[in-house]
Amino acid sequence: MNNPSPNAQEKFLPVIELEIARRRYKYNYNLIPPIAMVDDLPSGENFSRGWLRLLAEELKVVFVNTLITNRGNYGSLKVNDDVRNFILEVVLKGAIPFQLGLIAGLLQILPQLILQGTSQNYKEIDDLFFAVLESSGLSIFGNSLNRILNHLSQGHPTGHVKDLQEYDKLFPQIELPEIADNFQSDEVFAYTRVAGYNPVMIKQVNELGDRFPVTETQYQEVMGSDDSLAAAGEEGRLYLADYGILEGAVNGTFPQYQKYIYAPLALFAVPKGTDSSRLMRPVAIQCGQHPEDLPICTPNSGKYAWLFAKTIVEIADANFHEAVTHLGRTHLFVGPFAIATHRQLLDNHPVSLLLRPHFEGTLAINNAAQSSLIAPGGGVDQLLSATIDNSRILAAVGVQSYGFNEAMLSNQLQKRGVDDTATLPVYPYRDDALLIWDAIRQWVCDYLNIHYKNDEDVLNDTALQHWAQEVSAYDGGRVPDFGQTDGRIETLDYLIDALTLIIFTASAQHAAVNFPQKGMMSYPPAVPLAGYQPASVLNGEVSQQDYLNLLPPLEQVQTQLNLVSLLGSVYYNRLGDYPENHFSDSSVTSALQRFKTKLEEIEQTIKQRNQNRPTYEYLLPSKIPQSINI
């Protein structure tokens, strides 16, 4: 009687296993209210040593670059001395607390540092940061990492520049991104909308209405007298970037500047014709939602007025990007699926087995984000336009307004009216993302077909149905519009689409919006995270200095450069690379091989495409990690 029958045991053990998981993975809705996040980070979710190593390397790069800038010894042989002295200084001044792991790390570095100085590639600094990260973690407040960074900022250049070239001095070691050479051109400005850091903003419009009264004359001065605004609208060649969601946001002041957020409208048009290489062009910008408040700027408004207006669009775009597109619609979108998967599916459940590698590091990075990066006084508070409360609300709005079923790539493209290659021929994000989407979908389809023969099998998988219910439940993942009737998963086809969207968002979509942080946003004049002048400057004559005063002052530029360089440099694992022997079922092997072969083909296709368009490399499969971990 005391020994349960084998049958009962089989039923009993999974219940215990899931009960344990549910205690470890608890929901918390107050970290970024009201979004579902994990409460205490379960120990198994911590960053791996391999990941910490990668981050330490990137911290080193940023550290050396900053040290050289701030100590003013660039170009001299004293760089090595500076690095050595700095490390000794932070140790002697007690900036590094007495922690066993850290001291052990330091003891390995210090003797060599004192006797021989630093090596050519500053390997000692990697080791130092690795020791710091391993012993005290990522939290930026009150810990060693923060103290080191504070110490590092001493002597930094400050204030607004008189000349754009002054920014170049902040890049003694880190290479200036290519965009530094051409960001002021209209072509790059338009291309950024379809192949940049936030390539999801433009919508096709047929007319502009009273809110944005661009005239035929203004249109024709840009697009030529043989074209017209009315014809372009009718033919589907008008595209609008509308930042209305930012209207009414509260201007931030942290740490010590009045910053501004804007809600501009920007009109783009595709020239008429049939040539498939026709690039979209910027036509007009209104830097707020109300035409009575601000003028409509065009390329003919004068060099600095136009530049000022274009920069305001980038600032709005960057604020939308970080809060909504990046944090909200990738990091926070995926988080609830990671939690629900642990709570409702056993580790050997086929759906859990497929998804878990795509969640590695996600709960850890989201946890680090809410506790430091987007906490009051953190990097986002310092750098973005709005107050930190406002940025957090914006992220939550971004999540809540992103219905799961509408988030499917083809639905997104259709909804914005950008799915037709005849009217919008050059849209690298769209074209490359569709390739990756299809490849992931095929892999998910092949994989699920091994485990589910038909819709019946899906409907009868009780654990899976519980998972689906929890994902959308108010006391669960709170994912809006998930599932079919009553939130159920009724068909195999739907399950395939749903898992494709989760994996696509965790891999490709995040890569597309995360890594341009290094490639484009690390040069703040091209993409400032905040504006430092009100849009009303446009009501008068705009001078070069007005434009320069709109851009972030040097100390803010240095912080932006450091933060986004770090966030945009950590490539940990790669799409399709599941852990060895992860799938014990041998029939999965050939399906996985097919997926990997497809990704290699796509790599070649995108390289080929880049011969015929301005380069877009953010969706090369080799640059897409498996999961959101940075």
319, 362, 514, 565: which one binds Mn ion (CB under 5 A): 514
Least Å from the CB of residue 253 to Mn ion: 26
Amino acid sitting at position 102: L
Three-class DSSP labels, 372-394: HHCCCCCHHHHHCCECHHHHHHH
Least Å from the CB of residue 506 to Mn ion: 11
Give the pair of three-digit tokens for residue 465.
Answer: 């149905």
Count of residues in contact with Mn ion, rule CB under 5 A: 1
Least Å from the CB of residue 552 to Mn ion: 21
Please give the residues from 524 up to 563 whose contact with Mn ion meets the rule CB under 5 A.
none
Pairing outcome for strands 27-28 and 203-204: unpaired
* Closer residue to Mn ion in complex, CB, 68/369: 369
Q: Which stretch binds Mn ion (CB under 5 A): 85-93, 186-194, 336-344, 510-518?
A: 510-518
Q: Which stretch binds Mn ion (CB under 5 A): 310-318, 418-426, 495-503, 506-514?
A: 506-514
**Rounded-to-integer distance, Cα 115 and Cα 129, Å:** 20
Q: Which stretch binds Mn ion (CB under 5 A): 122-130, 282-290, 512-520, 539-547?
A: 512-520
Q: Which residues pair with 420 in a beta bridge?
A: none
* Closer residue to Mn ion in complex, CB, 524/568: 568
Amino acid sitting at position 236: G
CA–chain centroid gap for 99, Å, is 33
Q: Which stretch binds Mn ion (CB under 5 A): 9-17, 193-201, 315-323, 507-515?
A: 507-515
Least Å from the CB of residue 630 to Mn ion: 5
Least Å from the CB of residue 305 to Mn ion: 34
Say how many C-beta atoms besides its own lie within 10 A of residue 6's C-beta: 8
Measured torsion, CA atoms of residues 232, 233, 238, 243, in degrees rounded to the nearest 10:
150
**Rounded-to-integer distance, Cα 286 and Cα 248, Å:** 16
* Closer residue to Mn ion in complex, CB, 267/624: 624
Q: Which residues pair with 37 in a beta bridge?
A: 28
Q: How many DSSP H helices and E strands does the chain contain?
A: 27, 7
Least Å from the CB of residue 619 to Mn ion: 15
Q: Which stretch binds Mn ion (CB under 5 A): 61-69, 305-313, 513-521, 571-579?
A: 513-521
* Closer residue to Mn ion in complex, CB, 509/514: 514
Phi/psi region, residue 236 (left: phi>0; alpha: psi -120 to 50; beta: rest), is left
Least Å from the CB of residue 569 to Mn ion: 11
For the chain, the distance separating the N- and C-terminal CA atoms, rounded to the nearest angstrom, is: 53
* Closer residue to Mn ion in complex, CB, 136/514: 514
* Closer residue to Mn ion in complex, CB, 472/514: 514
CA–chain centroid gap for 450, Å, is 34
* Closer residue to Mn ion in complex, CB, 37/109: 37
Q: Which stretch binds Mn ion (CB under 5 A): 333-341, 445-453, 514-522, 605-613?
A: 514-522
Least Å from the CB of residue 629 to Mn ion: 8
* Closer residue to Mn ion in complex, CB, 69/514: 514
**Rounded-to-integer distance, Cα 402 and Cα 545, Å:** 40
DSSP letter at 185 equals S
Under the rule (CB under 5 A), what is the footprint of Mn ion?
514
